[in-house]
Amino acid sequence: MSATRRTMMAVVALALALSPMLPSAQAGAATPRTNTAAPHTTTATPRTTLLAIEHQVMCVTCKIPLNVAESPQSTRERVYIRGLIAEGQTEAQIKNSLVAQYGPSVLDLPGTKGFDLAAYLVPAAVVLALLALLVLLLPSWRRHARTRASTGVDVPKLSADDAARLDADLAHFD
């Protein structure tokens, strides 16, 4: 009997000792429910903003960046982007979705066909032309520089005193 009583007392003591931990234990029990509920929430965590996307894409009807466009189509484009942001899509995913809807012209990049190719070819051609100009001019510049060096046109002559002083100064370093 006394053994039973001792056991009961031990259980009560253990319960009392554990009682301060009870609220946190309840909180711990609640946490998994919250976590389980999380996927069912309607709003995903935004991974980007309209501001971040707007200046990277075009208003496809006005042919200007979306962040400065004010047309009915640009308004719908913004609504569509907001929807994708609310779904928790990343910048890259949103751009892909926009290309799927509006075509590649929605991206703030020149196309790779027809006249749009000029956007890539002209800068390359200008660089090549400048290089060609450099190749043409460089020998004559070097020749000119050599001529000036050999004739010593731009090198001032030292006076006898200065030459003597220079020699004396240099002698200190020997």
Q: How far apart are CA 91 and CA 68, in angstroms?
A: 19
Q: How far apart are CA 84 and CA 78, in angstroms?
A: 10
Q: How far is the CB of 133 from other proteins (least distance, A)?
A: 7
Quick one: 115 or 173, whose CB is closer to other proteins? Answer: 115
Q: How far apart are CA 152 and CA 146, in angstroms?
A: 10
Quick one: 113 or 172, whose CB is closer to other proteins? Answer: 113
53 near 81, Cβ under 8 Å? yes
Q: Coil, strand, or helix at residue 71?
A: coil
Quick one: 37 or 124, whose CB is closer to other proteins? Answer: 124
Q: How far is the CB of 47 from other proteins (least distance, A)?
A: 20
Q: How far apart are CA 67 and CA 70, in angstroms?
A: 9
Q: How far is the CB of 115 from other proteins (least distance, A)?
A: 5
Residue numbers at the binding site for other proteins (CB under 8 A): 60-61, 72-73, 75-77, 80, 100-105, 114-115, 118, 122, 126, 129, 133, 136-137, 140
Q: Which residues are registered as beta bridge partners of 65?
A: 58
Quick one: 49 or 101, whose CB is closer to other proteins? Answer: 101
Q: How far is the CB of 91 from other proteins (least distance, A)?
A: 18
Name the strand (E) or helix (H) holding 24.
helix 22-37
